[in-house]
Chain A
């Protein structure tokens, strides 16, 4: 992203921040969910840069969410900052373990293994109901933010701003990462593993650390989702949740770190309205949307940006 992109991104975030005070609460809530899902989609996009498609980022999304739930239940933690840090660390720690195995695989094997991992967690969350609450899940009580127990009528906006701030921080760090040698090495893995090895670098290490970082992003998305919704359940780890993240990533594109968020906002609102106006066929509407996308914009909606520039030039 160039300086113009950073400026546009920064202004967009300020604009989104202001929206938290002027938009109706239900819209602010949807935006919060979109940003949380956008973080998980960003983690999918990050792995896609290495040529890896993960159908299992819900593993870390759920780990982030349940990590917060367990911190509350087992340690009585109520502070959002501690919950955020704890959940992200838990997600990255899990990825550091799973990555030892999965970082060796590519293509369909990587996709299927990632799916298998998340389904193992899903099964455990479902069966270990005496710890996890099973299908009922676990409640997340309203947290304190920076030590302040905000009144319930303001908490929605405060949590939205927390979500936005965390998203901005994650976007900034991801941007720095992608501009750094390791970020370029991620693209190099997709382009040519052989040359990377013959530069004296370990492809396995590049994939491993990208996987861990991507897990941190998905975990952050998960804990933000949990804080905003106030509840966690095993559906967060189910493969359809992971599929949604892939859908959102394809919708937005992988060209920019902002693209998955464009996809997430559109997805969230499209699904909400599709559920309202076509409650029995909304999944068909989503499928149709994906079909159109693959046919006319295979690199995602972010490519519309180039279209605008081309028109301006001509």
Chain B
């Protein structure tokens, strides 16, 4: 399998806390990988390192054979890595459709266009199509701040997917969503992601979600990967210790 993302010896400290400890990971193209681990294990830091939100103290990050270590988030995004957040990062004062259109403008590289309207016909139809894939078409003209959490999560992913990423990193896509809504949310997400053929890496606390939607799981502990493999084989063997802060 062709490797799409590789990290070599990635290390990052926050004071005395080890968030990434000589982390070496390889992700194959088209894989659907879950990341699990206790709070403070370095899961989100890993996403932040890959997307350029924080810089590593040591180590390198390779995306599709290119060294992307130290690049700014926007540069990483332009190369084909998109991400979503534990708390959905949206534009609350804009409508759902305007959020999608802005993402579409970014996809077309036209966000700095100062004169032609954002609501242009050529963009509205595909943006509505994107929202429909995530079950958000009926909410298109609704202000984003009025959306319930589940829909906010979906919109967050829709914005990321609008960019046609090769690799999508999702940070706890089911957090803040009720137990009853978790599986329907993930079903909608995975159905929308499937045609895009995008490689997916998602951080998750719910083991049932990982078992059902991930082909591979990485178990993080103290900034290291302590287990890696098929979720059905790996998860029964590990216990997620809820304390670990990575403090040496």
Binding site for B on A (CB under 8 A): 176-177, 179-185, 187-188, 190-192, 194-195, 197-202, 205-206, 209, 213
CB closest chain-A residue, reference B119? A179
* One of A180, A184, A197 near B94 (C-beta < 8 A): A184
Given contacts A191-B94, A199-B102, A205-B112, contact A180 B77 (CB under 8 A): no
**Chain B 71-90 per-residue mask, 1 if CB under 8 angstroms from chain A, else 0:** 01111011000110100011
Chain A contacts for B51, CB-based, 8 A: 198
Whole-angstrom CA separation of A295 from B160 in the bound complex: 41
* One of A176, A190, A198, A199 near B111 (C-beta < 8 A): A199
Chain B contact residues, majority secondary structure: loop
B91 interfacial by beta-carbon distance below 8 Å: yes
A-B CB contacts (within 8 Å), total count = 97
Chain B contacts for A209, CB-based, 8 A: 112, 114
Q: By the criterion CB–CB under 8 Å, are B73 and A198 in contact? A: yes
Q: By the criterion CB–CB under 8 Å, are B114 and A194 in contact? A: no
Chain B contacts for A177, CB-based, 8 A: 114-115
Q: By the criterion CB–CB under 8 Å, are A200 and B91 in contact? A: no
Q: By the criterion CB–CB under 8 Å, are A181 and B89 in contact? A: no
Whole-angstrom CA separation of A179 from B105 in the bound complex: 13
Chain A contact residues, majority secondary structure: helix
Binding site for A on B (CB under 8 A): 51, 72-75, 77-78, 82-83, 85, 89-94, 98, 101-103, 105-106, 110-119, 159-160, 163
Chain A contacts for B74, CB-based, 8 A: 197-202
Whole-angstrom CA separation of A190 from B92 in the bound complex: 10
Whole-angstrom CA separation of A195 from B114 in the bound complex: 20
Q: By the criterion CB–CB under 8 Å, are B111 and A194 in contact? A: no
CB closest chain-A residue, reference B109? A200
* One of A182, A191, A192, A198 near B114 (C-beta < 8 A): A182
Q: By the criterion CB–CB under 8 Å, are A192 and B91 in contact? A: yes
Q: By the criterion CB–CB under 8 Å, are A187 and B91 in contact? A: yes
Which A-B residue pairs are the 9 nearest by beta carbons? A199-B106, A200-B77, A181-B105, A195-B89, A191-B91, A200-B78, A182-B114, A201-B111, A197-B73
Can you give 28 A-B contacts (C-beta < 8 A)? Answer: A179-B119, A180-B116, A181-B110, A181-B112, A181-B113, A181-B116, A181-B118, A182-B111, A182-B114, A184-B98, A184-B101, A184-B102, A185-B102, A185-B111, A185-B112, A187-B93, A187-B94, A188-B94, A191-B91, A191-B93, A195-B90, A195-B91, A197-B73, A197-B77, A199-B74, A200-B163, A201-B106, A201-B112
